[in-house]
Structure 1
């Protein structure tokens, strides 16, 4: 009987905390400042963009922030440009610091959708998935608006042939909550 009572108390606490959880869903977009560490090559930064959607599931100051967005991550060399695109899927832990300020961190999984070098398909030279770590901060502004800054550092080698290629991005984003508040 004591086990059943304890189980019911734990279940009631779980249901009560889940009822307090807040959900928001919205759109995001912004600029990418791309770079990469590439062995045997000198690549320069180029500006790209990203656009997609996010969700935030919060219980108090702590939450989870999954996202999915299309990201253009071009780079340039002395000879030609790399035209790269990914579908990025970060799953971030979110920690509210003040009412409007939060920090987030977590893994990001990038799925290569385009890779060209000088207009020639280069996709077979890169792996289909790029794993990164994302660290950032954001502001929840009035009227469902928000702003984010994020640093994304590649953890996995993006090169298929054994060379070393790790992507790195600094992102500036604007968000707009469609459902709930960010």
Structure 2
């Protein structure tokens, strides 16, 4: 009976300390991107040793991208701008979302210093999107009178969390209003 109780207690201790299940290991991946200040960023390598809370957006989005960005900012604020958590928004529209555009977009949301926007060469950006299982597709394209082009993109609605070893451990619907409190609670539990 004493041995059985010891085994049970050991099982409970292991179960309680196992942490969240790893959904995907992105530690072997490497994407050469640039941030909103045109600095080179190797994702996820440059963020190793930090938790990463990441959303996927494009700045011309007429609806949910602003909600995703707003939720990332709310999560950051609710955690009191933690030093061990990096907040990232990656665009899937690298053609229009150049660093200067992302910087202006971030300023409109009042982002903090540990908030990074990522863009880059379309090959690298789309490879990152595939790795993160984010889907996007141009849904409407129209030429303007001045020879320009307007288009909108249908896309995945996602915020994900990577642990300090660049392993994907949590995924959420990014534009949902209750997401900031859920992510905060999950991160506090994990950290």
Higher relative contact order (CA 8 A, sep 6+): 2
- For normalisation by structure 1, the TM-score amounts to 0.25
- For normalisation by structure 2, the TM-score amounts to 0.24
Q: Specify the structure having the higher radius of gyration (Cα).
A: 1
Normalized per residue, which structure has more strand? 1
Normalized per residue, which structure has more helix? 2
